[in-house]
Amino acid sequence: MNLRINQLDLPPEYTPEQLLKAAAKALHCAPTALSELKTIRRSIDARGRSPRMMVAVTVAFSGKLAAEVRNVTEVTETPAPTLPVGVPGSRARPIIVGAGPAGLMAALGLAEAGLKPILVERGEATAPRAQRVAAFWKRGDFEAESNVLYGEGGAGLFSDGKLTSRSKDRPRVRRFLEALVSCGASPDILIDAEPHLGSDVLEALVPALRERIQLLGGEVRFGVRLDRIEIEDGALRGVVLSGAAVETDCCVLATGHSARDVYTMLVEQGIPVEPKPFAVGLRMEIPQHRIDRAQWGGTFPGLGSANFRLTRREEGQARRCYTFCMCPGGLVISCASSPAELTTNGMSLSKRDLPFGNAAFLVPVLPEDFPAGVHPELAGMAFQREMEAAAFVAGGSDYGLPAQRLIEFLEGTTPSDLPATRSCTRALPAALHELLPAFVTETLRHAMPRMLREMRGVLLEEALVYASETRSSSPLRVLRGEDGQSTGLRGLYPCGEGAGYAGGIVSSGIDGLRISEAVVTNRTASATT
Chain segment 500-519, per-residue pLDDT in tens: 999 999 999 999 999 999 99
Q: How far apart (Å, rounded) are the C-alpha atoms in residues 54 and 76?
A: 28
Give me the pLDDT at residue 512, please. 98
Q: How far apart (Å, rounded) are the C-alpha atoms in residues 363 and 207?
A: 35
- Residue in 200, 185, 221, 201 with CA at minimum distance from that of residue 98: 221
Q: How far apart (Å, rounded) are the C-alpha atoms in residues 516 and 107?
A: 7
Q: How far apart (Å, rounded) are the C-alpha atoms in residues 254 and 179?
A: 19
Check residues 518 and 72 and name the one with the higher pLDDT: 518
Q: How far apart (Å, rounded) are the C-alpha atoms in residues 367 and 361?
A: 20
**CB-count exposure of residue 280 (10 Å: 0-12, 13-18, 19+):** buried
Give me the pLDDT at residue 184, please. 95
- Residue in 385, 382, 362, 361 with CA at minimum distance from that of residue 371: 382
How large is the greatest C-alpha to C-alpha distance in the chain, in angstroms? 74
Q: Where are the domains of the chain?
A: 2-74, 95-274+474-527, 278-469
User: 50 falls in which pLDDT band (50, 70, 90)?
Assistant: low
Q: Tell me how many degrees the CA angle 160-305-171 measures, rounded to the nearest 5.
A: 50
In 87-243, where do the E strands start and end? Answer: 95-97, 118-121, 219-222, 226-232, 235-241
Q: How far apart (Å, rounded) are the C-alpha atoms in residues 320 and 315?
A: 8
Q: How far apart (Å, rounded) are the C-alpha atoms in residues 502 and 69?
A: 40
Residue 65: φ, ψ to 5°? -110, 135
Chain segment 92-130, per-residue pLDDT in tens: 899 999 999 999 999 999 999 999 999 999 999 999 999
Q: How far apart (Å, rounded) are the C-alpha atoms in residues 354 and 331?
A: 8
Give me the pLDDT at residue 167, please. 83
Total residue length of the chain:
529
Q: How far apart (Å, rounded) are the C-alpha atoms in residues 87 and 250?
A: 14
**β-bridge pairing 401-405 and 427-429:** parallel
User: 68 falls in which pLDDT band (50, 70, 90)?
Assistant: low
User: 86 falls in which pLDDT band (50, 70, 90)?
Assistant: low
Give me the pLDDT at residue 100, please. 97
Asked whether 504 and 257 are in contact (CB, 8 A), the reply is no
Q: Is 360 helix (H, G, I), strand (E, B) or coil?
A: strand
Neighbours of 111 (CB within 10 A): 23
Give me the pLDDT at residue 300, please. 81
Asked whether 341 and 350 are in contact (CB, 8 A), the reply is no
**Does residue 160 have a pLDDT over 90?**
no
**Does residue 49 have a pLDDT over 80?**
no
**CB-count exposure of residue 51 (10 Å: 0-12, 13-18, 19+):** exposed
User: 27 falls in which pLDDT band (50, 70, 90)?
Assistant: confident
Q: What is the overall mean pLDDT for the chain? A: 93
Q: How far apart (Å, rounded) are the C-alpha atoms in residues 408 and 434?
A: 13
Give me the pLDDT at residue 28, please. 84
Q: Which fold would CATH assign to domain 2-74?
A: Alpha-Beta Plaits (3.30.70)
User: Element (H or E) spanning 24, and its range?
Assistant: helix 16-27
One-letter amino acid identity for 51? P
**Does residue 292 have a pLDDT over 60?**
yes
pTM over 0.85: yes
Distances (CA, A) of 35 to 19, 23, 73, 77: 12, 10, 18, 20
Q: Output b/e per residue, 114-149; b: 16+ Cβ within 10 A.
A: ebebbbbbbbbbbeebbebbeebbeebebbeebbbb
Contacts made by residues 455-460, CB under 8 angstroms, sequence distance 24+: 455/286, 455/290, 455/291, 455/294, 455/295, 455/308, 455/310, 456/293, 456/294, 457/290, 457/293, 457/294, 458/286, 458/290, 458/291, 458/294, 459/290, 460/406, 460/407, 460/410
Q: What is the CATH number of domain 95-274+474-527?
A: 3.50.50.60
Give me the pLDDT at residue 132, please. 97
User: Element (H or E) spanning 21, and its range?
Assistant: helix 16-27
Q: Which residues pair with 162 in a beta bridge?
A: 196
Chain segment 345-395, per-residue pLDDT in tens: 999 999 999 999 999 999 999 999 999 888 999 999 999 999 999 999 999
In 11-113, where do the E strands start and end? Answer: 38-45, 54-62, 72-74, 95-97
